[in-house]
Amino acid sequence: MDNKLLNEYEKPTKLHFKILYMSWAGWVFDFYDLILFSFLLMPIGKELHLSDIQLSYVLGSSLAATALGGVLFGILSDRFGRKSVLQWTILTYSIGTFLCGISSSIAILLLFRIITGLGVGGEWATGQTYISETFPAKQRGRYGAFMQTGAPFGIVLASIVGGFLENIIGWRGCFFISILPALFVTYIRKELPESDVWLARKNSSLDYSPSSNIIFKKEKNSFFILFTNKYRNLFIKCLILAIFDMSAYWFTYTWLPAYLHHERQYTLSKSAVWMLITQAGGLLGYFTFGFFADHFGRRPAYSVYSVIMALGLIMITLMWNYVANFPPLILSFMFLVGLGTGMFSGYGPLFAELFPTDIRNTAMGSAFNLARGIQFFTPVIIATIALQYGLSGGISLAALFALLTGAWIWVFPETKGKVISA
C-alpha cells in the first residue's frame, strides 16, 4: 500500500474486501439476533405464560435499546475508532442473545433483550462508517448496499433457526447457539486495519481551524453537537427520513410471521418459507439499490423503491381477498415487499456523505437507531389495531410510511459521488 487513503484507490483491493466481509458478517448476525425473537414469540410466550401485549413490550424494548446503543457506540467509535467498536458491538449482541436462553421471567428476558439491542444498535452504523470511509467514492453506494444485504441473510438465518431448528433444540437452544458470532472478533482484531480516514483526522486534530477546534473540544459530548445550529436541521431531516422508513419496515416485519400463521392459517414452517420469499426479494433489493443510486442518484433510488414496497404491502394486506386464490401472485407481492426494503441500502452512504469525520459515526448511529428505537411502540400499536381490524390492518400502515420515505428524500441535496476526506 502507498500513502493514498483507502478511499482514494480507483478499484477496491483485497484489504477493502476484508473490511466489507467482516462488516457484512457483523450485520448478518446483528440482524439475525434482533429478528430471531419474532420467530420465537409463540414458544416463549407459551412457556413463560406471556400475553401478546407483554411480548410486544419485550420486542419493543429491544428496539428502543438500539437507539441508546446507536448513540453510545457512535460516540465511542468517533473517539476510539471503527475497528475497536465493531468488535465491542458484536460481543455485546452475541452475549445478550445467549443470555436470553436462561430467561425464566419477563423481567429477566427484558433485561437480556435490552443488552442485545444495545449491541445491535451500535453495529450497523460502525460497519457502514467503516465501509464509507475506506471504499472509493464512485462505488460507495454499491458497497454500502452489499453490506446491507446482510439483513435478508440475517432474516433467512432467523427463519431457519426459529422456524425449523426450534422444533429440535427448543427456543432456549436457539438463543444459546447465537453466541457463535462472537468468534468473528478474533478475526477482526488480527486481520483488519483501522479506518485511515479516522486515523488521519485523529492525528491532525491539533491542526483544526478555530471553528473545528470547538467541535473537537466538545467531542466528549459529541451527540449534542448534532443539535447545534450547524447540524441541527440536517440531523432532524435525517432522523425523519429514518423514522418513516423504519416505520415502514417494522410495521411490516414485527408481526408478519404471526399474521401469516394466525390470520392466514399457515403453519409455522409455511410461514417461514413465505418469509424466505420476501427475503429473496430483499436480497435483490439491497443488492440493486446501490447500483441504481450510484448511477441515477440517491433521491430517485429511494423514491422508486418506496413505491415498490408500498404496492407489495397493499396487495398482501388490504387486497388479500382479491389475490388469495392465486398463490403465485401473492408470492410475487411478498417478493416486491422485500425488494422495496432495498431502500435501507442507502442510509450508510447517504449519511456518511452528509456528515464530517469527527461526528460521522455518531450522526449515523443516532439518526438510524433513534428512529429504530421509536419503533418500541410499533409492535404494541399493531397488536392494539389487530383487536379491531386484524393484523392486516396494522401491517397495511407500513405502505403509507414507505411512500412518505420516497417523498421526504427530496428535501436532501444529491450527494452521489461525494469525496470523503479526513
Quote the CA–CA distance of 228 and 106 in Å, as a whole number.
40
Query: The pTM is what?
Result: 0.80
Give 44-102 pLDDT, tens digit per residue: 988 999 887 788 788 878 878 888 999 999 999 998 999 999 999 999 999 999 999 99
- Of residues 187 and 211, the one with the higher pLDDT is 187
The domains located in the chain, with CATH, are 11-188+221-411 (1.20.1250.20)
Give 210-264 pLDDT, tens digit per residue: 334 444 444 444 788 899 999 999 999 999 999 999 989 888 877 776 677 667 7
Which stretches of 101-206 are DSSP H helices?
A: 106-134, 140-148, 150-160, 166-176, 184-191, 196-203
Quote the CA–CA distance of 368 and 373 in Å, as a whole number.
9
Q: Which residue pairs, CB below 8 angstroms and at least 24 apart, start in 162-169?
A: 162/36, 162/38, 162/39, 162/40, 162/272, 163/39, 163/257, 163/268, 163/269, 163/271, 163/272, 163/273, 163/275, 164/269, 164/272, 166/39, 166/40, 166/43
Band the pLDDT of 18: cuts 50, 70, 90: very high
Band the pLDDT of 189: cuts 50, 70, 90: confident
Quote the CA–CA distance of 140 and 158 in Å, as a whole number.
28
**How far apart, in Å, are the Cα atoms of 360 and each of 141, 215, 225?**
16, 12, 11
Give 149-158 pLDDT, tens digit per residue: 888 788 888 8
Q: Kindly tell me the sign of the dihedral angle through the C-alpha atoms of 374, 376, 377, 379.
A: positive
Short-list 387, 381, 383, 396, CA closest to 52: 383
What's the pLDDT at 422? 62
**Reduced 3-state DSSP string for 122-146:** HHHHHHHHHHHHHCCHHHHHHHHHH
What's the pLDDT at 53? 79
265 sits in the region (left: phi over 0; alpha: psi -120 to 50; else beta) called: left
Give 288-315 pLDDT, tens digit per residue: 999 999 999 999 999 999 999 999 999 8
The predicted model gives 350-356 an average pLDDT of 92
Quote the CA–CA distance of 174 and 119 in Å, as a whole number.
18
The predicted model gives 393-399 an average pLDDT of 81
209 pLDDT more than 50: no
What's the pLDDT at 350? 94
The predicted model gives 122-134 an average pLDDT of 92
In this structure, of 123-132, 246-255, 359-368, the range with the lowest mean pLDDT score is 246-255
Give 19-53 pLDDT, tens digit per residue: 999 999 999 999 898 888 888 888 998 899 988 77
Give 231-240 pLDDT, tens digit per residue: 999 999 999 9
369 pLDDT more than 70: yes
Short-list 72, 60, 128, CA closest to 372: 60
269 pLDDT more than 90: no
What is the average pLDDT score of the chain?
86
Short-list 252, 222, 231, CA closest to 79: 222
Give 401-414 pLDDT, tens digit per residue: 999 999 999 999 99
What is the chain's alpha carbon radius of gyration, rounded to the nearest angstrom?
21
What's the pLDDT at 261? 66
In this structure, of 174-178, 202-206, 235-239, 363-367, the range with the lowest mean pLDDT score is 202-206
| SS3 label, residue 12 | coil
| SS3 label, residue 194 | coil
What's the pLDDT at 379? 66
